Structures are given as structure tokens and as C-alpha cells.
Structure 1
Amino acid sequence: MQNQHYPRVAKALALAVLLGSGGPAMAQAWPAKTISIVVPFATGGTTDVIARALGQELSKSLGKPVIVENKPGAGATIGADYVAKAGADGHTLLVGAVHHTIATSVYKKLPYDFQRDLAPVTTVAMVPNVLVVNPNLGAKNVQELIALAKKSPGKLTFGSNGNGTGQHLIGAQFNLASGVDILHVPYKGSGPLTIDLLGGQVDMSFDTVTPVLSHIRAGKLRALAVTTIQRSAALPNVPTLDEAGLKGFDQGTWFGILAPAATPKDVVARLNTEIVRIVNSPDFRKRMDEIGAVPVGNSAAQMASQIKTDTERFARLAKDAKITAQ
């Protein structure tokens, strides 16, 4: 009797094992459909450019379509929240950035926890920020800008990608370090910010190099200093803020890929392998060089460590600069 039922029992046990190991089974089938890379800013900015360059190569590597979705607003937190609540199957990814580690401290209440609800995959690139002004402002260097700002407190303006973003914090830090009061004007991304900067609606920005590089080279915007401790290879003749007199000033912007926290570990590992390979490829590195970005391609653990360190560091800076957002 037992022998007659054994095949059915064996099949039932095999099915139970298969169902019980749903994570690995799903991971083996990944990717099963189109992959969406969510950019939490408007089109035209550094995040968008990096996402599209990566998505194109990732599609070739995985053999599935990879699309970029722009979900701007609230200092990049709308896009982050969307991905944090998306299906954890490896088909919805976020281009996270240093902005998200700042938002944790700046926003009084967020609908997600950046470190708990999102799984780091890898840091794709680091991009220096640059202080640029509309040429009509008249300031030709940092000291002239500071002198101009001190003559008219609260009259000059700097734009950013939104409240609580890296550009916002750098601008606030510049105010503290130089003893000036330059008014912050938030935007939903580098695209609309750059348009207004070119048109003179805003006086300056501390944006990443990428969206303003061509305008600097064309003489439509004037670069006064980069905000990192080292000069940018894309702008070798532009001094650092440290060189310009604001000693110890060192702020850049990193961009990386994250997935919903419950994404199977082997899917995250596969994503890391594929993206790091792309980041280290000659074609991708050439593309990053063209936009003033420095390729990274680290481990998920290294990215997680950077997020933790930045979250703690920017919490102190945000407190000193008294930055808050709703």
C-alpha cells in the first residue's frame, strides 16, 4: 500500500520544496520582464543621464528591456518611496544618491526608511559639484562673489534640485563658511534649474558638473570653484573652494543603484555583478568621463557603509545649517 502511494507522496514533497524555496526559484528566472530604473528627478540632470547610460548597457547585458522612469519631487523622496514600496522582484530599481542620506535628517517625516527599506546594489559614479554663476552677476571668482553677497544680504539666489538635496546642503554650508546670506530656491531637478540659471532667474547653483559642463565651456555660465577637495578632471582650470579660501570644503555627489529591501539576495548579487562589469567597461567609462563623472562600481556592502556614514555626517551638517523641509 505504501509503495502504491509513494510516487504521489514524492511529487507532493517535491512540490512543497519548490514552493518553499520561492525566493531562489524566482531569482533563477530573473529577469522575467522589463526592468524599470526610477530617477527621482526631472529629465536632463546627472541622475537621469547616468540612469539612461546604465540602462542601455544593462538591457544588452540582461537581454530584457530597461526603461527609465522619472518621478521627481520632494527632494528625490517621491521616487525613493515609490521603489521602497514596489514589488521586491528585482524589476524596479532606484537611482539613489547622496540626497537621500540628507533627506533622512532634513524631512520631519518620510513614508519610508532609506536604510531599512532599500537594498544597496552598487555605487555607479561620483560627480563633483561646481559653483557656477550667471555671467551677468559680475563675480569672476569666489571672493568677489562673497563680497557681492555681503553687500546685499538675502538678495542673491542659489538654485538646487530641491529641499534637502546635496546642492541645497552645499549652498547652506557655503553660507555658513563664508558668512553670507544667499537665498535658496528649490527646483525639481537640474533640467529646470539650469534653464532658469541660463536665463538669469536664479543667480547661481552648486549643481553637479554634468548638466552645466557644456554651458561652462560655451561661456554661457561661469564656473568659480568645484566643491570637492580635488579639482575636477573635466574642469582642470577651475579651483576648489578650499583653494579659493574656504578651507576644508569637500562635498561631492555619488549616484548608485538600490532595490526594494526584500529583493532576493541572489538577484541583488547578479545586479551587482552586471552593473560593476558595465561600470568598468571602456565605453561606459568614456561616457562618464564626457559628463565629468568618476566611475565607482563597488560592492553592496561598501555602498551600505557609505550610506550609513553619510547619513550620520549630513545629520550634523543639516543641524548646523538649520535645514528642514516639510
Structure 2
Amino acid sequence: MKTSNFRTRTTLTAMAFGFAASLAAAQSWPAKPITLIVPFPPGGSSDALARSITTPLSQTLGQPVVVESKPGAGATVGADYVAKAKPDGYTLLMGAVHHTIATSVYKKLPYDFEKSFTPITTVALVPNVLVVNAKSSATDVKSLIALAKAASGKLSYGSNGNGTVQHLIGTQFSSTAGVELLHVPYKGSAPLTTDLLGGQVDMSFDTLTPLVQHIKAGKLRALAVTTAKRSSTLPDVPTLAEAGMTDFNQGTWFGILAPAGTPKEVVAKLNAEMVKIIQSPEFKKRMEEIGAEPVGDSPAQMAAQIKDDTAKYAKLVKDAKVAID
């Protein structure tokens, strides 16, 4: 009996020391710069959102929060990098809905998006918008569909890469409208927008953030948003549903995650500081400027969103027969 009690006391003491050490580490965190990996090239929605939150976060945490771009393979290169990073809170990922799609699109992923990461918070939801070059003869969705039917598979749309939400919106649009479109994958919004402005690609279903300035400048023409309701940034632009295409409610969320195993105290601290920033008047004003809707949820809520979207997009991927080795 005495031996059993001794072992129990020893185990409890060890647990207490372990908890104390973990708490001490969390209280001293961060002790060095933090890197936020953006899995797309600079210039897109993820980059804009990352920089919008890292500047005030650096001031709050007292350490630099550096944005580093690691694009490629539909945002999976950057995700893989973070999944393999040390789970100490110093390497984070600007994740997106694209990662829930990649789970079904890629036959072999070196990580499991639901198991390899610890969600921190969703930063914002950005509506996707169907745009064409201002020189296009398409002035609304109906005339675009007519143009696509006449072009016989030659009308092109760009996306942020194979298996991204823009790609799937394009396949859903093609199927619903009964037209054949040529898909042109890019590594991110910046090169896609450049080609869209230059006329190298006919249209896109990209997020609003990299497009809003060009729409307002009259260089691009917005035909519809892909979400269930209109964007407050473009209130005069109809939804695809209003344009006669049912079952469309696709937007793009962006959120921050850490490698699985990151201390709960560090995750809680990051969530608290980030949500405080996201709910601030300054951040909300910035989101209005770039066409994004601030969120700022809990790790559990973000995890539930990831789980739901993974199942939702698995069906769309299967229906669209999209697969990448």
C-alpha cells in the first residue's frame, strides 16, 4: 500500500512539474520572432489578410511576426512546411478553405489537414466574384454564358491552382450553365490578376480582395458574386443565384493554424490576441477596404468549420471528377 501511495505521489508530482513547466513556457512565449507562412504568392487575399493582422500582432506580442510566402501545389507546399515545423508557436500557417478541398483532390498528401494542425482562429471570409476584362462583350452572366457556348470550349477562366475553391466554382459554373470552359491554373491571385488585366485569360472566380481596386477603377467588370448574399463592398453586383444559377454559396475563408501539438496555453494566447485585433474598429475598417468580412472565432469553431467544409467539398470534388496525383 505504501509503495502504491508513493508511486501515486510521484506521478502527481511529475504531472505538476510538467504543468508548471508548460505554463512557464507559455508565459515566457514569445521569446523570439514568429513566422506566418502564406501558401500563396504575395499580392493575393491571404497575403493581404496576413499583413493586416501581423502588424498589430507584433506590437501586442512584443516580437516581430514575419510573413513568409511559400506557394505551390494549390497551397499544399506551405501547409506541408508548417505541418512538419516544431510545435512551439513560432511557425504558423495562413490556412484557407483551399486546404479542405486539397484533402479530396490530392491522392497523396504528406499531411492530414484535420490532424496535423491546431486551429487558432478564422481571420475573415472573402466573397468570390465572377469577373471579366472590361473589354469583354459580356455585360452580365447571361451574355457570358452565351459567349461561352459560342466559343466552343475556348473561353478560359483562371484559378489559384488545381483543386482550389476557384477551380471548383469554375467546374460547378460550367456544369450548371451547360458550357465548356478552359481551366488555367496559376500559383496565386497576383499572377492571375495580371493576366486577367492583360487579356491572357478571359475570366476568373477569384476572391474579391485582389480584384476590388481594378473593378472600381473600371479595368475589370464584376458580373456576380458566388456567395448567398451580395457583398457590402459591391452592393450593386448580383449573386449568381439572382442571375439564375441556383445552389451557389461559395466563399473563401482564411484562418491561422499552428502545427499539431502546440501548447494549449500558446494557442489560447494567440487566439485571445488575434480575436481582439479582428474585432477592433481599425481592423474592421481595413477589411471593408479590401472586401473581406472579419470573423474571429474560437479554435473549436474553426475546427468544426474545417470538418464541415472537408465533407462538403469532397462531394463537389467527386462530382467534378477532380484528382491530382
Alignment of 1:154 with 2:153, yes or no, is yes
Matched letter for residue 191 of structure 2: P
Matched letter for residue 29 of structure 1: S
Report the equivalent of 1:96: 95
Report the equivalent of 2:8: none
Report the equivalent of 2:119: 120
Report the equivalent of 1:272: 271
Report the equivalent of 1:4: none
| Cα separation, 2, equivalents of 1:143 and 1:236 | 19
Alignment of 1:74 with 2:73, yes or no, is yes
- Report the Cα offset of residue 14 of structure 1: 8.8
- Report the Cα offset of residue 59 of structure 1: 0.3
Report the equivalent of 1:60: 59
Matched letter for residue 258 of structure 1: L
Report the equivalent of 1:33: 32
Per-residue displacement from partner, 1:3-45 (whole Å, max 9, x unpaired)? Answer: xxxxxxxxxx999964675433322221111010110000000
Q: Equivalent residues in 2 for 1:1-326 (5 A)?
A: 18=17, 22-326=21-325
Partner SS for 2:68: strand
What value does the CA root-mean-square deviation take over the aligned residues? 1.5
Distance 1:143 1:95, change over 3 A: same
- Report the Cα offset of residue 198 of structure 1: 0.3
Number of residue pairs aligned between Structure 1 and Structure 2: 314
Instruction: Check conservation: 1:38, 1:93, Cα contact below 8 A.
Output: yes
Matched letter for residue 246 of structure 2: K
- Report the Cα offset of residue 176 of structure 1: 1.0
| Cα separation, 1, equivalents of 2:20 and 2:157 | 53
| Cα separation, 2, equivalents of 1:221 and 1:33 | 43
Matched letter for residue 190 of structure 2: G
Per-residue displacement from partner, 1:64-83 (whole Å, max 9, x unpaired)? Answer: 00100000000000000001
- Report the Cα offset of residue 325 of structure 1: 1.9
| Cα separation, 2, equivalents of 1:56 and 1:22 | 30
- Report the Cα offset of residue 171 of structure 1: 0.8
Report the equivalent of 2:6: none
Matched letter for residue 301 of structure 2: Q
Unaligned runs of 5+ in 2: 1-11
| Cα separation, 2, equivalents of 1:198 and 1:179 | 26
| Cα separation, 2, equivalents of 1:154 and 1:274 | 49
Instruction: Check conservation: 1:130, 1:209, Cα contact below 8 A.
Output: yes
| Cα separation, 1, equivalents of 2:105 and 2:14 | 49
| Cα separation, 1, equivalents of 2:15 and 2:54 | 37
| Cα separation, 1, equivalents of 2:254 and 2:105 | 19
Matched letter for residue 111 of structure 2: Y
TM-score, normalized by length of structure 2?
0.94
| Cα separation, 1, equivalents of 2:141 and 2:92 | 39
| Cα separation, 2, equivalents of 1:132 and 1:122 | 30
| Cα separation, 2, equivalents of 1:69 and 1:157 | 31
Distance 1:285 1:266, change over 3 A: same
Per-residue displacement from partner, 1:264-317 (whole Å, max 9, x unpaired)? Answer: 011101111000000000001100110000000011100000000000000000
Instruction: Check conservation: 1:103, 1:164, Cα contact below 8 A.
Output: yes
| Cα separation, 2, equivalents of 1:160 and 1:234 | 22
- Report the Cα offset of residue 134 of structure 1: 1.1
| Cα separation, 1, equivalents of 2:304 and 2:76 | 20
Partner SS for 1:115: coil
Instruction: Check conservation: 1:18, 1:25, Cα contact below 8 A.
Output: no
TM-score, normalized by length of structure 1?
0.94
Instruction: Check conservation: 1:81, 1:112, Cα contact below 8 A.
Output: yes
Report the equivalent of 2:4: none
Distance 1:198 1:270, change over 3 A: same
Partner SS for 1:248: coil
Per-residue displacement from partner, 1:145-201 (whole Å, max 9, x unpaired)? Answer: 111111122201100111111111111111111111111111111001000000001
Matched letter for residue 185 of structure 2: P
| Cα separation, 2, equivalents of 1:219 and 1:82 | 39
Partner SS for 1:122: strand
Partner SS for 1:319: helix
- Report the Cα offset of residue 215 of structure 1: 0.4
